[in-house]
Structure 1
Amino acid sequence: MTYEDLGYNSTLDQYRNEQGLNTLEVGRVISEHKERYIVKTPTHEFDAELIGNLRYTAESRYDFPAVGDWVAFMQYDESKALIHAIFPRRSIIERRAAGKASKVQIIATNVDFGLIVQAVDRDFNVNRLERYLTICNTAKVEPIIVLNKIDLINKPELSTILNTIKQRIKEVKIITVSNKPAGYSQLEELIEAGKTYCLLGSSGVGKSTIINALSGKEEMKTGEISSAVHKGKHTTSHRELISLPNGGIVIDNPGMREVGITDKSDGLEITFDAILEHSQNCKYQNCTHTHEKGCAVIEAVENGEIDQKSYTNFLKMIREKAHFEATALERKKKDKDLGKMIKQVKKQKKNHKH
């Protein structure tokens, strides 16, 4: 294995030289757990943590390493290391943290392709596909839809599902896979050396099985199939980066119950480009596309140019985005007020001493 197999490139090397990080080793974060990280090089894996200065100056989640990050570190024991710097990220796949209205959860960084996995037997849901597409488009990561477990349905059912997707989602590659022999060949052909692929999807859609098939060995445990819900019991509990035999890199994720949208709008605009296109012809510039007379989007929905369900899903995500923005601003204000209060208390204590 080489650094290039792990995704290292000339841009990262240039940054390393410019920042004077040549005396430190370079590695990629392959898993994280409560501010402890496993950092991989072509020959070793290190149990790493941040140096104090990095930890104390961190202002947000973005200042901490995430799975997929490149870091400069110093080894201090046989398998232990201290992280001194995080390299700039090429892409960040993120979502609104489950249950926390204004917090962001980083799913993975430096990703080239998002593999959106859905099982065709039970999990299939176009609304959710559009959510994952929005997350990928926001991160400027190329999405690929992977329909899994196609051996569990018949050809007409699969044809219906493919048509449903194509009606609402244009120009996104769709791959079908199954547990049958050679069922993953289509996907294997896509994997390029040095590129990073992030698996996205709910619990039980077969992400771990896909990783095992691509790697040719049991990298991830897969639970036995539950006859009641027809799904493998979900076993992935944290994010993990795995090197594939052909030099590709894949990141597995715990299944997501919620796919919350953050405050970045460009992902929505790419996913729902037909709506954006029609909105150029709206009578009012600040049209909300919900009730206005002269709204070109509503007109397009009524005459069948825009899919009704896709339009409804778009409005739902726009509301979420607005809510996220409002709560994030509120939190910022609270944090600012708290900061002012702490400064005041410190000042009073100082004056009190004198």
Structure 2
Amino acid sequence: MPTLQSYGWNEHFMRHSEQINSQSLEVARVLSIQGFKHLLITETGNVDAELAGALLNSREPEAYPKVGDWVLMKRYDEEGIIIDILPRINALSRKAPGTQSTRQVLAANIDAAFIVQGLDRDFNPMRLQRYLQQTVQCNIRPVVILNKADLVPDPETYRQAVLELGYDCPVILTSALNESQQEAWTRQYLQPRHTYILLGSSGVGKSTLLNSLLGYRLQEEGTTSTSNRKGKHTTTARHLILLPNGSMIIDVPGMREFGVTGESGNEGVHHPLINELASQCRFGDCTHQHEPGCAVTTAVQDGTLPELVYRSYLKLLREQYHFKASEADKRRNEKQFSKVARQIFKHRKDTKY
């Protein structure tokens, strides 16, 4: 039976567990979540668990346990109650779909993100830059997988287009149906006891990739809608899966929206190419849009900075600013509501007889 070390238990989590585990609670990792049920892996095997009421009432939804989290639990009969969550190394988040500015945490404690695009019809550099930007700002190393390379005449041109985006990350050309290609890149990038996540739109071949990595069919392979040429969802929930080579992968349903939020206190979109040019701008607070002496806009004009990268940068910057502004408004409203609630409680307490 795999041990907790097989699932990524390390000194970081051990240290925090010793600091906060005063009740001799059991350590576990979240493998999947279905409604209120959390499937956990413990030292003795799998167990279903639910959140303790105190945990539910004291945390924001984004701080609830997610797939990949390490938690402390107490057993009751055949099930468990999750009492606390160990501090995360990182967490991959996005703006939740819809108009409200809320953060949705997809998974936690990830070593690298495999961002998959299909070369048959899904390849979109601006969407890819969105994934790359958010992943990097969540302190997760990105790896780009360009799948279905066998379906285009010159796949290398697609790889070069990704490299021109300026992110220092590996770019893999492969076909999920080519066994030798699969073995080549997985041998290099999938390390035992490390946790990875598969990201991408529906129909890019994530399920086919996962089935190939497992050596058997876990997910049904998706088809593409004939009406809109978009992929159909085959994965319906996030799951952490232990692969035969000892690495772990989190499979995520295909996402049509991947809004940026800005993480780790970042005030702007920190793109590698633009960061490098920004040091040459005349003004330290240059917005790289209309100021004289801007090295970024000059680079766009002379062609050394791809216009596609620049336009995508501005779009992501506006989105991130809007998200942070809306999030700040929400916090102010919540703070005001709490203040009013305290005043009402005090008034009721003072006038009680």
Partner of 1:186: 184
Q: Secondary structure at the match of 2:286?
A: coil
Partner of 1:175: 172
Q: Secondary structure at the match of 1:140?
A: coil
In the TM superposition, 1:337-352 aligns within 5 A as 337-352=336-351
Partner of 1:48: 49
Distance 1:230 1:176, change over 3 A: farther
Q: Secondary structure at the match of 1:145?
A: strand
Q: Is the 8 A contact 2:137 2:262 kept in 1?
A: no
Partner of 2:4: 3
AA partner of residue 98 (structure 1): P
In 2, Cα distance between equivalents of 1:322 and 1:149 = 36
Q: Is the 8 A contact 2:94 2:261 kept in 1?
A: yes
Partner of 1:32: 33
Q: Is the 8 A contact 1:222 1:233 kept in 2?
A: no
The unaligned stretches of length 5 or more in structure 2 are none
In 2, Cα distance between equivalents of 1:217 and 1:223 = 16
Q: Secondary structure at the match of 1:234?
A: coil
In 1, Cα distance between equivalents of 2:278 and 2:97 = 31
Deviation readout 1:281-305 (Å, 9 max, x if unpaired): 2222222111112211111111112
- State the Cα RMSD in Å: 2.0
AA partner of residue 182 (structure 2): Y
Q: Is the 8 A contact 1:92 1:108 kept in 2?
A: yes
Q: Number of residue pairs matched?
A: 349
Please, what TM-score do these two structures have when normalized by structure 1?
0.92
Partner of 1:148: 147
Partner of 1:310: 309
Distance 1:22 1:183, change over 3 A: farther
**What is the Cα deviation at residue 22 of structure 1?**
7.3
In 1, Cα distance between equivalents of 2:33 and 2:235 = 13
Partner of 2:68: 68
Q: Secondary structure at the match of 1:213?
A: helix
**What is the Cα deviation at residue 114 of structure 1?**
0.5
Please, what TM-score do these two structures have when normalized by structure 2?
0.92
Q: Is the 8 A contact 1:49 1:82 kept in 2?
A: yes
**What is the Cα deviation at residue 170 of structure 1?**
4.3
Deviation readout 1:115-163 (Å, 9 max, x if unpaired): 0000011110111111111122112111100111122222x2x122122
The unaligned stretches of length 5 or more in structure 1 are none
**What is the Cα deviation at residue 89 of structure 1?**
0.5
In 1, Cα distance between equivalents of 2:17 and 2:223 = 45
Distance 1:164 1:320, change over 3 A: same
Distance 1:267 1:253, change over 3 A: farther
Q: Is the 8 A contact 1:112 1:195 kept in 2?
A: yes
In 1, Cα distance between equivalents of 2:342 and 2:288 = 46
In 2, Cα distance between equivalents of 1:5 and 1:350 = 54
In 1, Cα distance between equivalents of 2:45 and 2:173 = 35
Distance 1:76 1:226, change over 3 A: same
Partner of 2:299: 300
Q: Is the 8 A contact 1:137 1:268 kept in 2?
A: no
**What is the Cα deviation at residue 229 of structure 1?**
6.2
AA partner of residue 70 (structure 2): W
Moved more, 216-225 or 277-286: 216-225
Partner of 1:164: 161
Q: Secondary structure at the match of 1:277?
A: helix
**What is the Cα deviation at residue 239 of structure 1?**
1.0
Partner of 1:12: 13
